[in-house]
Structure 1
């Protein structure tokens, strides 16, 4: 059975981090988002303004912690944590728009709790999924790109036997493992680097599990918060 493993190279940089993982199966993501999901997304766009209390976007605590974290490993120039990308849209007034039901649901949780949330299609993984510092040159095709954009030496990324799955910690997912209308099994992940927010991580994952069950017929297989003492989970 394949596993998700957070390896030692990651903990050497972020020893107090927590990685929340939710495993879902029996997902029906084939339809457009329901009126209920669209309404939840609209409401969460409004609620997310509570995270934006400073005049400068990068000074808001939910973003500042990730700006600091991104200084601790090699990154592609100009990349930012996914929660910053979402809140930037909120700040500009455009908001986060609908993509597909599962993505919309986890974006609702991300906006509500001010946490980076990502998801991948488990059935696209090859071998174990590993989060850690890479030696570089892992194959990666970002969403919307036609050219390979390989990882850098010293970069933190999610990777499997085929290549990178998500680059620069939680910046961007790749085409190969992205959530699509065909996704049946999903790996959902929330990261936080300083040992706080455990309660919010759990609440956000439970919220995603609840709405995916209600809206998409999904079944929660496992929910676990990993740390340096418990650094892996079996996949499905």
Structure 2
């Protein structure tokens, strides 16, 4: 049993989110003993392969017209967000897929998987969490700590917004739009949780994609951090 197994089992999706998108699945991966550090040869290999994979997809199709991206645009509209202004994380990355950013080994690894599957995926520092992870619709009173003009500040989500949170506040706004500053990954992070958000494109096809993403993310994390201990759950 890993250190965070009990924490992983407490993760939940609120019924109000289920009602919004019954097809939604969350792929959760807990990684213990990471040694990511700066971008390296392993993470560069993953990013280059992702760029090569999506290049032919984008030759004749606009990013917003790709089926997986279009599905997330629809999900954003369902809770009142404007996807042209607040893009899901996968769309934001796909718009830079000709030359993906090189950030650090861990972020590079999950960005590569996100682009390959055109699916939102984020990573967060487990040591910064306070209580269990859950996906809910906002009341508007929750606190979201972020950076504004280089300084930490507190914002509040819109009522009804879909967000990830713990006991301390919001960890990611608008489902997968922007992560909070408190739980950000750094080069010093050793224990992390990775969250992949999966929707159906065709009825029922999200189940297989969730399994495929889980396998790809596991391989990517093991490539950039040999010896890492992984545990997972699909909600």
Tell me if both proteins adopt one fold, taking TM over 0.5 as the criterion.
Answer: yes
Residue-pair matches, total: 222
2:76 and 2:223 map into 1 onto residues whose CA distance is 36
State whether structure 2 residue 222 is matched by structure 1 residue 202.
no
* Corresponding residue for residue 26 of structure 2: 19
> Deviation above 6 Å: which 4+ runs of structure 1?
none
How far, CA to CA, are the matches of 1:150 and 1:218 in structure 2? 39
8 Å Cα contact 1:33/1:101 also seen in 2:
yes
The answer on whether the counterparts of 1:24 and 1:218 sit within 8 Å (CA) in structure 2 is: no
Q: How many angstroms does 1:84 deviate by?
A: 0.4
Looking at structure 1, the residues matched to 14 and 59 of structure 2 have their Cα atoms a distance apart, in angstroms, of 35
Alignment equivalent of 1:150, drawn from 151, 156, 159: 156
In 2, Cα distance between the equivalents of 1:81 and 1:187? 19
Residues of 1 paired with 2:63 and 2:215: CA distance?
28
Q: 2:70 aligned with 1:64, yes or no?
A: yes
Look up the match of 2:138.
Answer: 134
Structure 1 unaligned segments of length 5 or more: list them. Answer: 227-236
- Deviation of residue 55 (structure 1)? 4.4
Structure 2 unaligned spans of 5+: 1-5
Preserved CA contact (<8 Å) 1:26 1:218: yes
After TM superposition, the score normalised by the length of structure 2 is: 0.86
What residue number does 1:105 align with?
A: 109
TM-score (ref. length: structure 1):
0.85
Change (3 A) 1:200 1:193: closer
- The alpha-carbon deviation at position 126 of structure 1 amounts to 0.7
Aligned to 1:233: none
**CA RMSD for the aligned pairs?**
2.0
Deviation at 1:143, TM superposition (A): 5.5
Preserved CA contact (<8 Å) 1:26 1:217: no
